[in-house]
Chain A
Amino acid sequence: SIFTPTNQIRLTNVAVVRMKRGGKRFEIACYKNKVVGWRSGVEKDLDEVLQTHSVFVNVSKGQVAKKEDLISAFGTDDQTEICKQILTKGEVQVSDKERHTQLEQMFRDIATIVADKCVNPETKRPYTVILIERAMKDIHYSVKPNKSTKQQALEVIKQLKEKMKIERAHMRLRFILPVNEGKKLKEKLKPLMKVVESEDYSQQLEIVCLIDPGCFREIDELIKKETKGRGSLEVLSLKDVEEGDEKFE
């Protein structure tokens, strides 16, 4: 046929799922925004997913797959059964709304993680998720769909620090060090500790301090190496935050 705008039919509401099997490519025509739902088990009605139960070689051209090909590839000619197989195993075009909800979900997740890990250093109180979300939008953070949300959350914290007063909640640690190595070690630990809350030199050197959770491993290794396993380290609290409600008076 002549390729003119009038007799050109566009597939506007079709999401194609493709699968290669036995050297042949098979396609099925599905509704948009429905395939991911089917895969996650939310959608249970097949008719809500499939436009038609027939299997195609090329959906946009309307070429239906031949019976022999189907039997050779799938071992059956039950179109519905094959459709189900293709639906679960084939490659999907992710539709706009599906992508949007996924990104939105990740965005929320990141914000939740950030809000959970961080505090306002002035008040030692957490920020709310909504506020973090807004801050993330302010710095134009874009979610990367193939990176874990936790990893991205740590990135976000770094970026947010430039814009607002936010800090990771400090860990409270207690070191118990043998006295002779204690002094030396303390000097080395000093740059890593944020706040030293108490020091006690009785039989052993006992220090309670706040650190940035990022340097925990470093401190841990340092102590282990320097004291050859005789010093010990104890996490008193993972997050140093204010508890309870506060009323302004």
Chain B
Amino acid sequence: MVLSGVDKMIRLQKNTANIRNICVLAHVDHGKTTLADCLISSNGIISSRLAGKLRYMDSREDEQVRGITMKSSAISLHYAEGHEEYLINLIDSPGHVDFSSEVSTAVRICDGCIIVVDAVEGVCPQTQAVLRQAWLENIRPVLVINKIDRLIVELKFTPQEAYSHLKNILEQINALTGTLFTSKVLEERAERETESQAKPHSEQGEQVYDWSAGLEDVDDSQLYFSPEQGNVVFTSAIDGWGFGIEHFARIYSQKIGIKKEVLLKTLWGDYYINMKAKKIMKVDQAKGKKPLFVQLILENIWSLYDAVLKKDKEKIDKIVTSLGLKIGAREARHSDPKVQINAICSQWLPISHAVLAMVCHKLPSPLDMTSERVEKLLCTGSQTFESLPPETQALKAAFMKCGSEDTAPVIIFVSKMFAVDVKALPQNKPRPLTQEEMAQRRERARQRHAEKLAAAQGQTSQGPTQDGGALETSPHEDEPRGDEPDVASVSRQPVSQEESSQEAFIAFARVFSGIARRGKKIFVLGPKYSPVDFLQRVPLGFSAPLEDLPPVPHMACCTLENLYLLMGRELEDLEEVPPGNVLGIGGLQDFVLKSATLCSLPSCPPFIPLNFEATPIVRVAVEPKHPSEMPQLVKGMKLLNQADPCVQVLIQETGEHVLVTAGEVHLQRCLDDLRERFAKIHISVSEPIIPFRETITKPPKVDMVNEEIGRQQKVAVIHQTKEEQSKIPEGIHVDSDGLITIPTPNKLATLSVRAIPLPEEVTRILEENSDLIRSMELLTSSLNEGRNTQAIHQKTQEKIWEFKGKLEKHLTGRKWRNTVDQIWSFGPRKCGPNILVSRSEDFQNSVWSGPAGRESKEASRFRDFGNSIVSGFQLATLSGPMCEEPLMGVCFVLEKWELNKCAEQGASDKQHQGQCDLAGEGQGGGKTCHVGDENQEQQDVCSEPFEETSQKGDSPVIDCYGPFSGQLIATMKEACRYALQVKPQRLMAAMYTCDIMATSDVLGRVYAVLSKREGRVLQEEMKEGTDMFIIKAVLPVAESFGFADEIRKRTSGLASPQLVFSHWEVIPSDPFWVPTTEEEYLHFGEKADSENQARKYMNAVRKRKGLYVEEKIVEHAEKQRTLSKNK
């Protein structure tokens, strides 16, 4: 039975001064939801017997199963104290780290919060986090110390011990608040200092430096929790009792005859009572006097528990009668002491009263919003309030006033969107049928029955000859009939069968000012909207209808359709919502993604973005089990993205659908949601694909045991070189310094290529300027075509020269002389971090000026084939020899390029080659396959390239190896590959930079996890005013899967990492390394069994791609399982 009906709530909503918007915050398992249960039961929504067991706010199935809250949900409660009636909008929030984004959404729309702390566990990591969040949002906290019963029952504390324990907890929390306060003061001070530095002349008179840091000047007495101030309550939610000091102060002031005010001050603290003198004195430790709190309060509770647990019937009765309670016969006889305690205590010290009274007295109403908070909400980023346009500044008054007149601007903040089954919406709820409707239905059913009979008769009379036809038509006839009841039901409840599976999105919002009415037109302002934008675009004082407004980015206009009162699992329809209330708004899913500000005036700025404690870091790739279900998955992921404030969803270039969540539990919930609500398909989850790059380095100076190379006897050197030789087929000449000379298959041309590693700086410059290189490429290609291109933009030209200058600066030394001028192309995709340099004497071509020496016939001959060479280079850079990943930071030098005489004729078939070249270049997108003859491939006649005789060839160049240009491409590609292979090859891994915030006591564990995953710490510094350390580290992306989770587990949530992709880094170990020197044998053994990180990565990639992996199928021949056949 709902005691306080919707009508009453609506009435209460109008009295803004008596509204309290509060949320319950705490560490996981400290009893938020149980406390909420107790408060709900006071309203009669759930039975008080079930309070604490039902977890009413945990409406999701997995919440109930796991026993943790996963979302924030609101409920409106009614509380009466004397003549005053209060409306309390209570928001329950999750405590688990993964869902701290939900906490943020809850905190934003509240004015106050209840911080719950477990009396046994004390202050936990999340307690700190939520305190910080409340602090950052400028909302006032009150403290509930919960689970006092555990001190009695589990820890068997004496009242005295319990008191000192509680005192300890309180001190811890106050210390935390203190740090938050100091860090804020210090920050403000730092800000002020930078400001004053900016204008040093303004305050010249003030010469004395102020060392006090301003801490002493700021009043902080209001900040701390203390029972005598009434902002602390001691409870046991599971047993349904709780009390504040005030409660007992009132009782004892009557009993003992000491003034209530005095008792209020002395009940908590080291005071004792001298009964004879009726005087309260300071505790003298030596006399062993008990403090008042122990003597008057705790001991009573202890004795009650003692009596009940020992089943001391008489004593219980005595207590019950002395307290003047009435215990039901059922509870009194119940064998479980818990039930008895619950029954007694919930009457003696009702928890809801204690907590709600504190909430109503100590927490502010929406009217009391501080101007500080308003300004903070309105100023995004570094903006100051004063810099906002005057129209916006004017809104501040509206905020403060929270007025409900029609003239007041409507301001609503949507903090999150949540999905609700359409069936659960109030307008779709089935309502009992009236008599008339029942009669109608009966009639309809009768008719249907009659028709069916008639149809059946007709069918039989048609005879067997038309049986097939009849069968075919009958379903058609049936269909409309079958529809009839559906149509009828639609009119009753507007959910058709199809819709019933849908999710409706409801905005979780709060009205800050004005009255939200159904049907009101309102602006939806996205998080990136700027009122300045609007004011610039729209003339002041516009009077046009809203539809005619010019489009403004991040702004939309919509009508408020459905307003709901949030009642936990239920929703109640509302017509209008007065200011200061929490509400649900339906029908916004097309306008609002995750959060938004709704306002009737466009001059309102969007609220500052929610302040998330946890950023999404756990990445997984998601795929449908059945490939045909891709569209459902995409749709589902979009819905999920909207429904969850913290999740990130993206499609990568590789085609992977990646889900980024805040943690493992959060991930699990997202996947469950995706499977059961949003996509409704089977999905599989995997580690995302990790990219690598391939490169070469200078030959190492020292070997793996740090001995200089070249001194020792190489034990296996012969074996090694033999192997290397065998890798390179015949016909290819390899110089000792890595120059590869290779002829085309028809022996008409010979290429000499060398690979050189580029300096790191150059690679970085190339990476940064890839856009510029691309535009350069476009330019030259249009020049080549001889088309009249528009004059090169002055700026671009400048940039190109600057870029060239930078390259020249870094490519110095004998080896690189003139290299920059000789750069022919960049690769892969013509804009990558690899360079092709042409040092061929009779052919010059450079990216800077376009082909030089156009006129000479000789050069034109080369030029025609130049494109093939470039294509070959592009292909080679796109997929390296190690694991077909792109190259990075390699310079290929084409040293010599000889064309035999008959190749000259090839030029006659210029037209044809042109195509092939281009086809080859285009292959930039393609990968491993031999490009050579795209044409053949196109025909789907897949034969080995270069072997099929081309049909169209009337030119002698097209011989049995295919067109000459194709051969050139392939030869160039091979040449590049071999040139790479003779150099020391290395793998490059993508690296994350990782910022970790950790307290000093878990620092060691953070380091352990980092080093286990090949991470490297760059720096570590302490955050001013706190005991938090900020650690900066780099970590290979390949090792990051599960990293965040591990670090959290190892540090019990005290350290939270943030990963951002930063750069590529060469893995120092050689993937092909085997021990060669004696020392290495000694150190690593013959097989080098110890882990070679680069090889591990390389093999993993090769395996994934289905390439050949040098791995033994069976390691030990003798250890195979012997399976006999035919037995």
Contact = CB atoms under 8 A, between A and B. Distances in A.
A84 interface: no
B584 interface: no
A229 B1117 contact: no
Interface string B786-823: 00000000000000000000000000000000000000
A122 interface: yes
Contacts of A101: 1113
A151 B1118 contact: no
Given A220-B935, A245-B651, A239 B925 contact: yes
A31 interface: yes
A15 B831 CA distance: 53
Contacts of B593: 249
Given A134-B625, A214-B938, A235-B921, A246 B650 contact: yes
Contact of A131 (B623, B631, B926): B623
A130 B623 contact: yes
Contacts of A135: 627
Contacts of B1103: 108
A154 B1124 contact: no
A159 interface: no
A18 interface: no
B253 to A, nearest CB: 61
A123 B1104 contact: no
Interface stretch (B155-163, B244-252, B653-661): B653-661
A30 B99 CA distance: 60
A205 interface: no
A37 interface: yes
B314 interface: no
Interface in A90-114: 97-98, 101, 104-113
Contacts of B938: 213-217
Interface residues of A, number: 83
Contacts of B915: 220, 232-235
Contact of B628 (A113, A164, A217): A164
B1120 interface: yes
A245 B650 contact: yes
A64 B301 CA distance: 96
Among A123, A224, A238, max chain B CB count under 10 A is at A238
B952 A224 contact: yes
Interface string B1093-1122: 000000000011111111111101110101
Nearest to A240: B925
Contacts of B935: 216-217, 220
Interface string A119-140: 1101101111111101100100
Interface string B892-929: 00000000000000000001101100110111111111
B690 to A, nearest CB: 13
B437 to A, nearest CB: 44
Contact of A108 (B621, B924, B939, B1104): B1104
Among B726, B926, B1106, B1120, max chain A CB count under 10 A is at B1106
A100 B723 CA distance: 27
Nearest to A119: B655
Contacts, number: 192
A94 to B, nearest CB: 11
Given A111-B1106, A130-B623, A248 B923 contact: no
Nearest to B1117: A31
B1066 interface: no
Contacts of A116: 926-928
A72 interface: no
Interface stretch (A20-28, A41-49, A73-81, A183-191): A41-49
B256 interface: no
A32 to B, nearest CB: 6
B38 interface: no
Given A127-B655, A239-B925, A246-B650, A134 B627 contact: yes
Contacts of B711: none
A126 B686 contact: no
A37 B1105 CA distance: 20
Contacts of B921: 235
A202 to B, nearest CB: 11
Contact of A128 (B654, B912, B926): B654
A163 B627 contact: yes
Interface in B586-639: 593, 621, 623-628, 630-631, 634, 637-638
7 contacts: A42-B1110, A109-B1106, A122-B630, A127-B627, A217-B935, A235-B918, A238-B934
Given A238-B919, A239-B926, 19 more contacts: A32-B1114, A43-B1112, A97-B1113, A105-B1107, A105-B1108, A105-B1109, A111-B1106, A119-B655, A131-B627, A134-B623, A163-B628, A165-B628, A216-B934, A235-B934, A238-B934, A247-B649, A247-B650, A248-B637, A249-B593
The list of the 4 closest CB pairs from A to B, nearest first, reads A108-B1106, A31-B1117, A238-B922, A109-B1106
